[in-house]
Amino acid sequence: MIQVNGLEKSFDGFAALRGVDMHVKKGAIYGLVGPNGAGKSTLMRHITGVYRADAGEVRVDGQVVYENREVKARMAYIPDDLFYFMQADTMEMKRFYEGIYPDFDGKLFYRMQEFFPNIDVKRNIRRLSKGMQKQVAFWLAICAKPSVLILDEPVDGLDPVMRRQIWSIIMSEVAENEMTVLVSSHNLRELEDVCDHVGIMHHGKVIIERSLSDLQGSVSKIQIACPNGIPKLPENFEVLHMSNTGRVYTMIVKGDPKEAEAALAVCTPTIVDVLPLTLEEIFIYEMGGADYEVKDILF
């Protein structure tokens, strides 16, 4: 659904995107993660047709997005920093979106009002709290009936109940209408619950792009205690990280977890436990491999 090929962008000589390649399938919920300054928001602004690329292209449903009204009419974007017109209330913004988005569903807007009971639709949006403003953004975006929803830090500022509410609405849209969702967030625990694909960005590039299950299947955490000290692993396993507490060693290993367990059985361990990694752990260890590790700081 979304294809990004060799995308490059520089700001006053600073290369923010260095040949990004990314592919999001139709109906997928794609989590875009990466450290601060990796270029996630810049990439999203290219995908939504805001920025013009220096090189490369962004296609949605096979069509170039930039300056393409037809494609953009099927996309909705909720940025991290929202903008509403001065003195506009929710109803006015609804009328604006209704005029702009050809598929805007006015009836759905009223049906969804029950999901947002705290929003006073006659109140100036700029006077609503940040979380409420975000709710309005979701409300309007969903009513625009997009085939592609782009979310930049979507639930930032929302309370836990509203987070659940919003995700449940999104999931149902994905399930019912095969909506494609591209979401960027630093809340990896939450992404792990909703995403089926993940892309990790670093230094203006997507360094890893896989389904979440593949990603979790390729890295595992092994806790092992051997009578002979440090366990020896076959050479085809890449140990990303290793630490120990007494005789118990914890290793982050790249490779098939089952094969790893079988290989370690040779060491006759007293304890061996192979655990799947959380997305947050995968991110931390993968970024460690890309020179972005958590440093041990000594004061």
By CB under 8 A, residue 171 contacts other proteins = no
The first and second tokens of residue 14, run together, are 């600073």
- 94 lines the binding site for other proteins (CB under 8 A): no
Q: Give the single-character DSSP code of 124.
A: B
Which residue number, 139 or 249, has a Cβ lying nearer to other proteins? 139
| Residue among 54 and 293 whose Cβ is closer to other proteins | 54
* Contact criterion met (CB below 8 Å) for 257 and 223: no
Looking at the DSSP assignment, which residues form a beta bridge with residue 63? 60
| Given 45, 163, 203, 247, the residue binding other proteins (CB under 8 A) | 45
| Given 14, 36, 62, 81, the residue binding other proteins (CB under 8 A) | 81
Neighbours of 274 (CB within 10 A): 17
Cα 98–Cα 103–Cα 105 angle in degrees, nearest 5: 65
Shortest Å, Cβ 214 to other proteins = 31
In the set 100, 262, 265, 275, which binds other proteins (CB under 8 A)?
100
Per-residue CA distances from 203 to 15, 19, 153 (Å): 9, 10, 19
Which residue lies nearer to other proteins by CB, 92 or 192? 92
Residue 204 in 3-state DSSP?
coil
**Identity of residue 231:** P
Residue type, 270: T
Map tokens 């659904």 to a residue: 1
Q: Is 107 in the site for other proteins (CB under 8 A)?
A: no
Is 49 a residue that touches other proteins (CB under 8 A)? yes
Q: Cβ closer to other proteins: 62 or 99?
A: 99
The residues of the shown chain that bind other proteins, judged by CB under 8 A, are 11, 45, 48-52, 67-70, 72-73, 75, 77, 79, 81-83, 85-88, 95-96, 98-102
